[in-house]
Amino acid sequence: MTDVLHVDYAVLDGSRRALDGIAAELGRTDQHRDELATAVGNRRLADAVREFADNWDRHRGELLENLRTMSSTLAQAADAFRSTDQHAGQALGTQAATTTSAGTATPGPASGTTPSPAPGPAPATPVRPTSGPVRL
């Protein structure tokens, strides 16, 4: 059985953008509170709307912080997966350029560069670098 890690960058990036949008909307709730309080037309009801919104502010601050943390974590995860994918692709490209299928050495990287250490044994299934999901 082959273990496969499928990373969908579009889902990671879309989730981060959605969290950012939710945080931005929560950041504008004071504006909505005042608009709603004015729109109800009844002073007592407007006061109740403002009181509810003021109580909600405490919890909203915690929620905003959590949303921002999750958004940042998703961005870091996507960046880490992309970097790993890029480095793995480069390592596979270097290995292919320095060793033939018969195992004999061929010219490696250009002079002045340090060759990457050879990764472990070749995977059982071919791995192709892609701009899409990472498959391990």
CATH number for the domain spanning 15: value is 1.10.287
124 belongs to a structural domain: no
Structure tokens belonging to residue 101: 């299928």
Q: What is the pLDDT of residue 106?
A: 40
Which pLDDT value is given to residue 31? 73
CA distances from 91 to 50, 59, 119, 128, 129 (A): 60, 48, 8, 11, 10
Question: Measured between alpha carbons, how far is 79 from 32 in angstroms, rounded to an integer?
Answer: 35
120 lies in a domain? no
In a domain, 115, yes or no: no
Residue 130 covered by a domain? no
Label residue 81 by pLDDT band (50, 70, 90): very high
Report if residue 40 sits inside a domain: yes
> Do 95 and 119 form a contact (C-beta atoms < 8 A)?
yes
More confident residue, 6 or 127: 6
What does pLDDT average to over the chain?
A: 74
Q: Which residue has the higher pLDDT, 98 or 40?
A: 40
With 0.75 as the threshold, say if the pTM is over it. Answer: no
- Four-point Cα dihedral 17, 23, 25, 29, nearest 10: 180
Query: Residue 65 falls within a domain, yes or no?
Result: yes
Q: Is residue 106 part of a domain?
A: no
Dist. CA 71–CA 77, nearest whole Å = 10
- Give the residue-averaged pLDDT of 114-122: 44
Nearest to 73 by CA among 15, 7, 136, 22: 15
Give the pLDDT band (50/70/90) at residue 77.
very high
Select from 16, 133, 124 the least CA-distant residue to 84: 133
Count of domains observed in the chain: 1
112 occurs within a structural domain: no
Cβ pair 129, 93 in contact under 8 A:
yes
Domain hosting residue 23, numbered range: 9-96
